[in-house]
Every structure is written in structure tokens, then in C-alpha cells.
Amino acid sequence: MSDKLKILLITNNKLAVPAFQSLIAANVLCGVATSNKEHDIIHLYKGMATQAGIPFTLLRNDNYKSLIKDLITELKPDAVLVMTFPWLIPAEILSIPKLGFINFHYGLLPEMRGADPIFESIRLSKPFAGVTVHMMDEKLDTGDILDMEKIPLSTEFTYGILSSQLSEVGNTICRRLIMELKKGRLPKSKKQDESIAHYYPKVTEQDITIQWDKMTIEQIIALVRSGNPIAKGMPTTINNWKIGLVDVSTINIDGDASAIVPGTIIALDYQNGLCVCCLGGKGLKIEVIYTAEGIFPGYKLGFFGITPGMVFGQAPRVEEVPQN
């Protein structure tokens, strides 16, 4: 069967690029489809598919079910690999390919179900991240597990760094999966343990707004790194002005700072940077900020009238910074 294996790839993210290349190298990719949600992703996969001579299909929310069904009828793939996709695929379509629909979930199942396990893994400071490959069913992230690989999650990882790591992990699993599928079979599967399952819904702006009076410095750092680069910084306010924190680090504060109100600016100059006191008197240096006026080193807030003694966390009175 090795010469006859055909795989259709459905993806909505550049996480699948290394796996796409492995599928091409193995001469098993018969088509690729992506949603119309992001122009850059469309351009990326359309270009790679054209270069490889692979049919490319653009899916919309109002037609993706019929188009996927048509693709399966036309291309006759043995299996469909899904590597992030924004819409549910009905059970009657999932059952058509001989080897089914196989999903690559860029998080550890069943503990990290949800729309963005990369973000949640960093935000929650999990010790490990990873990729889980499972059979798709009509629910979200609940199908039987075919393969899984985990990696230690460094506290230095941003969303972008972890995405790059997991993209390669997914590719490694994809190559293993190709070898099994070429034998005309699926890897041995196992049921997910529902007793440890947790689903993380899509976050709201309130979820990602820094709460200086409640969050520890470790939580703030994790939150900021979880949004870099998918958000224009994690939102906070200063002097009734909303900005985003893009990169932060810890600093030492001389003396006992436990009585200082969390969020208070304790230094703001070129030499020291923008330094803020957090819960428990711990020091945070705001390295990079996002504003409507541009992306700057933290200390440049001084050019906008921000001074030591001001406190982050005031309610904004101007239009909010949009999030991706």
C-alpha cells in the first residue's frame, strides 16, 4: 500500500509547515485546504501547494462542509490530517476516509483541551507542553489518542518560541504516522482519561488584562510571554492610557518594598528602564511596550508624561488597543 497512500491536509496555521514538507517528501500529499480567516496563511499554503503541484482549496464558514466532502470524493484520500482548524467537522464526513480524520492538537490531552493550548500552557506555567495526535470525532479534542510527545516548558518560552518547538515535534510525529499509514493501518490507540480532562475556552480581554493587585510577578511574566507575538502586548493602563506589555523581566529591589502599592513605577529612565513594584515587593522591569504610537523600550513612556510614582491599573478613557 505504500505507493498508494494518499493524505489530504487541512490546516489553518503555519505550525503545519514542517509536516507539510514531510508529506511532500514522502509523496503522499494529495491536497491541502485552509480556511479564509487569515490572508498570510492562505498565501503561504497556496504558494507551497502550487510549487509542489498539489491541489489547494480555500474553505469558508458557509461552505467548508460541502467542499471537504467534495474533496474527499474527488481526491479519495486514505486519511485526512487536521493541524488546527476553526470549525467543527460533522461525524458523517469524518467517517468517509478509510483511515479517518486525524487531528494534531498542539497541547497535551486530555488536560489541555481547548482552542489554544499553546497560550494556556505558557500562561499557566505548566511544566510540560507537547503535541497529541488523536482520532477526530464530533466533539472537540475527545477522540482516541494515537501518539503523543511532550517537551519541558521553559519559563523563558514565549508563544512564538513554543510554537516553533511544537511545530517540529508535530513533524516528528507526522513522519512516524506516515510510516504506519503506509502499512494500511492506524497506530494503536487509547481512550482519553476523562477524570483529568480540562477544557480551556477562548479567553476574553478581561482574562488577559494584568491585575497588579491580584497577580504574582510569576503570573504576570507568564501572561506576557503567552501573548508574544499573537497579541499587541498584554493590556494594562497607566494614567488613564491603555498600553500593552510585550516583554518583561525580573529585577531586584533594594530594601523592603512590601508596602509599595502593586503596579507602582519605582524607576523610569534610560539607565534603569521602566521598573514596577509587584505583589510582595518584587520588582518587574518592563522591557518592551506596545502603544498606538509605536513599539518602544519601556523607559520611553517618560516621553508621554509618565513618571515614577504613578500606578498601573487605572481604568482607560481612550479607545482600547485591539487584540489579535
Write down the pTM of the prediction: 0.92
Sorted by where each starts, the structural domains of the chain and their CATH numbers stand as: 7-200 (3.40.50.170), 205-304 (3.10.25.10)
Q: In the predicted model, is pLDDT for residue 61 greater than 60?
A: yes
Q: Are 184 and 4 in contact (CB under 8 A)?
A: no
Report the pLDDT value the prediction gives residue 1, as an integer from 0 to 100.
Answer: 38
Q: Tell me what percent of the residues of the chain surpass a pLDDT of 70.
A: 96
* pLDDT tens-digit readout, 150-186: 999 999 999 999 999 999 999 999 999 999 999 999 9
Q: In the predicted model, is pLDDT for residue 323 greater than 80?
A: no
Q: Are 36 and 64 in contact (CB under 8 A)?
A: no
Q: Which residue has the cell 490572508?
A: 39
Q: Closest Cα partner for 40 from 320, 230, 247?
A: 230
* pLDDT tens-digit readout, 101-135: 999 999 999 999 999 999 999 999 999 999 999 99
β-bridge partners, 114: 200
Q: Are 114 and 141 in contact (CB under 8 A)?
A: yes
Within 10 A of 224 (CB to CB), how many other CB atoms are there? 28
Rounded mean pLDDT of 199-225? 95
* pLDDT tens-digit readout, 71-108: 999 999 999 999 999 999 999 999 999 999 999 999 99
* pLDDT tens-digit readout, 6-19: 999 999 999 999 99
